[in-house]
């Protein structure tokens, strides 16, 4: 498929074959995406290509229908506007598409964005996007026709309607999936905090471990999607502590051998709690709970896994959890100084910790310390 820059140079309409190619390639790309931001951008690209526009934006209605928002819009930053604002607001109010080929001569046009950005809007096409129940969930908007005639036509409207029909169903699914994931995330953090609070640790411990895990995952080369999955799953790393007796969990001294054997069971218990879920976040959390006390040299627990037999999520959370535990006051110890922690990590490279992850840790140290400062115990 031709790039946007090539299309800009050509300044011509797509022929039918090119239209089909563009539509099918975009649909294939969207089917692989889960993040709303990326879906919005792909849909905006599709609309822009289909009607040879300079810019295209997908606006979504807020839950209360009071505002329209977009996280991704060609040429501008993420913005929120009143749902009755400008041309897109009129498309919603009238429940009908709008074509304007002289924007500044039309009273429905709001020039405020042009004034802020220095962009000059000449032509506009906007049409509602509908959900499965027939309700308006947003607006497809394209700006400035990039042909010599520089005007949008009824044919452009027909083409954009094709994109809007597909967009409605796809966006509704993506939004629903995001709401489900957000709910799962809330439950995971709540359960993770409950487990930590039993041992008199603060909820900020699970927040810090989640953020450390995310940064470390990116630093060692994981995809953003996998890093985000780990960030959502890692707060459950110690959920198995809910089964540990208070006398052991809250003991203000080092555990004896028998007590430590009981404490070690929390990894297996956490795995048993989570292992039967089919949700990807909870499946990842089961791995983290089970493997975050394994050591790279095989001397960890509960399975005695070695090296890369330990899942990367377990290896990352192990490092994140130890970094936070050593740097925090606990019932049985005072927080270590940073220099002492860093020295230990160097000593444990290839022993407790994956050597590549230790390198990633030091590369990301400034970001990790920033997280530690933002989520200090006692802060909200």
Residue 99, beta-bridge partner list: 125
Whether the Cβ atoms of residue 239 and residue 274 lie closer than 8 Å to each other: yes
Q: Which of 207, 241, 295, 349 is catalytic?
A: 241
Task: Give the residue from 240, 196, 211, 169 showing the smallest Cα distance to 27.
Answer: 169
Cα–chain center distance at 65: 24
Whether the Cβ atoms of residue 317 and residue 209 lie closer than 8 Å to each other: yes
State yes or no: is 241 an active-site residue. Answer: yes
Cβ-Cβ contacts under 8 Å for 36 (sequence gap 6 or more): 71, 171, 174, 175, 178
Residue 330, beta-bridge partner list: 333
Helices (H), the chain: 4-10, 16-31, 36-51, 86-94, 112-117, 154-198, 203-219, 224-233, 246-249, 257-274, 280-291, 312-326, 338-347, 355-363, 365-374
What tokens appear for 177 in the block?
A: 């999936």
Three-state DSSP class for residue 335: coil
Whether the Cβ atoms of residue 316 and residue 217 lie closer than 8 Å to each other: yes
Cβ-Cβ contacts under 8 Å for 233 (sequence gap 6 or more): 188, 281, 282, 284, 285, 287, 288, 313
Catalytic residue annotation: 241
């Amino acid at each position: 498929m031709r790039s946007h820059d090539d299309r800009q140079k050509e300044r011509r309409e797509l022929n039918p074959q090119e239209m089909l190619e563009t539509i099918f390639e975009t649909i294939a790309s969207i089917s692989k995406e889960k993040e709303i931001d990326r879906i919005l951008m792909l849909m905006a690209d599709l609309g822009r290509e289909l009607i040879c526009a300079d810019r295209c934006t997908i606006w979504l209605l807020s839950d209360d229908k009071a505002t329209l928002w977009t996280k991704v819009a060609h040429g501008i930053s993420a913005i929120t506007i009143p749902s009755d604002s400008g041309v897109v607001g009129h498309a919603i109010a009238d429940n009908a598409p709008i074509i304007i080929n002289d924007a500044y001569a039309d009273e429905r046009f709001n020039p405020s964005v042009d004034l802020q950005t220095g962009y000059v809007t000449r032509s506009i096409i906007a049409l509602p996007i509908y959900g499965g129940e027939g309700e308006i969930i947003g607006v497809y908007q394209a700006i400035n026709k990039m042909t010599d005639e520089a005007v949008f036509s009824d044919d452009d409207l027909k083409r954009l309607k094709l994109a809007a029909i597909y967009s409605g169903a796809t966006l509704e699914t993506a939004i629903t999936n995001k709401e489900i994931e957000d709910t799962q995330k809330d439950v995971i953090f709540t359960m993770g905090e409950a487990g930590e609070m039993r041992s008199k640790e603060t909820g900020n411990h699970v927040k810090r471990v989640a953020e450390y895990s995310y940064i470390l995952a990116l630093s060692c080369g994981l995809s953003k999607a996998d890093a985000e999955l780990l960030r959502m799953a890692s707060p459950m790393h110690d959920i198995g502590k809910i089964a540990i007796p208070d006398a052991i969990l809250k003991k203000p001294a080092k555990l004896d051998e028998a007590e430590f054997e009981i404490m070690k069971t929390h990894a297996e218990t956490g795995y048993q709690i989570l292992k039967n879920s089919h949700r990807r976040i909870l499946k990842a959390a089961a791995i983290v709970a089970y493997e975050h006390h394994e050591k790279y040299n095989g001397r960890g627990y509960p399975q005695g896994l070695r090296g890369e037999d330990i899942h990367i999520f377990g290896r990352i959370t192990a490092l994140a959890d130890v970094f936070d535990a050593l740097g925090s006051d606990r019932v049985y110890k005072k927080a270590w100084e940073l220099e002492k922690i860093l020295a230990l990590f160097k000593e444990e490279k290839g022993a407790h910790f994956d050597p590549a992850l230790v390198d990633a840790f030091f590369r990301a140290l400034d970001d990790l310390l920033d997280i530690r400062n933002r989520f200090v115990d006692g802060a909200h």
